[in-house]
Amino acid sequence: MARLVTFAVVLIALLVVANLDTFKSEKVNNEPFDLKKQEQAYADHLKTLEELEQKRLALLHPVKKEEEVVEEGPLVVLDTPQLVKGSELYKSCVVCHGKKGEGKKSQKAPHIGGQMEWYLEKQLADMKSGARINKVMDPYLKKLEAQDFKDLAAYISKLPWGEEK
């Protein structure tokens, strides 16, 4: 038991000596305590914390900005009877192909806006003749004639070529 007590005393003495060494190297500040300076430092600290909290909340709950409504002009200038007729025919195509001909992946409708006129006309004619099978398009194409294909192709080719959806 005496050995254990001796060991504990020696250990405590070593710890005291080690801490005295660091105590001697500690710089002493002899400035008088300034309460106003401490209050200002505390206020600055609180202000910094408040700014950080606001930034954190802004990241967690972003404010949604209202989108501006931009009135768009006509997609295609209808300056010929062919384009006017094509525009009327295209109204039944908007459901699948979109207003701008951008297509809809959900309906597997391709992007046709801005496509070459001859290509569109050929594809429509091939679908109607059965050379190209597309059961979704069949009901729409049954009532159209060759001139309707030309009008429709002329209108669709004038649509802007935009990004696909």
The separation between the first and the last C-alpha atoms of the chain, rounded to the nearest angstrom, is 85
Does the residue 15 lie in any domain?
A: no
What pLDDT is attached to residue 165? 46
For residue range 119-160, list pLDDT tens digits in order: 989 888 898 888 888 888 888 888 888 898 889 888 888 888
What pLDDT is attached to residue 69? 72
Residue type, 5: V
Does the residue 36 lie in any domain?
A: no
Euclidean distance between CA atoms 164 and 89, whole angstroms = 22
What pLDDT is attached to residue 62? 82
Does the residue 125 lie in any domain?
A: yes
Does the residue 90 lie in any domain?
A: yes
For residue range 57-112, list pLDDT tens digits in order: 988 888 777 777 766 656 777 788 888 888 888 888 888 888 888 888 888 888 98
Does the residue 87 lie in any domain?
A: yes
Residue 140 structural domain: 81-158
Does the residue 144 lie in any domain?
A: yes
Alpha helix segments (H runs only) across the chain: 2-25, 35-60, 81-90, 94-97, 117-129, 138-141, 146-158
Question: What is the distance of C-alpha 120 from the center of its chain?
Answer: 33
Overall domain count for the chain: 1
Q: What's this model's pTM, rounded to 2 decimal places?
A: 0.55
Does the residue 3 lie in any domain?
A: no
The CATH number of whichever domain residue 105 belongs to comes to 1.10.760.10
Does the residue 41 lie in any domain?
A: no
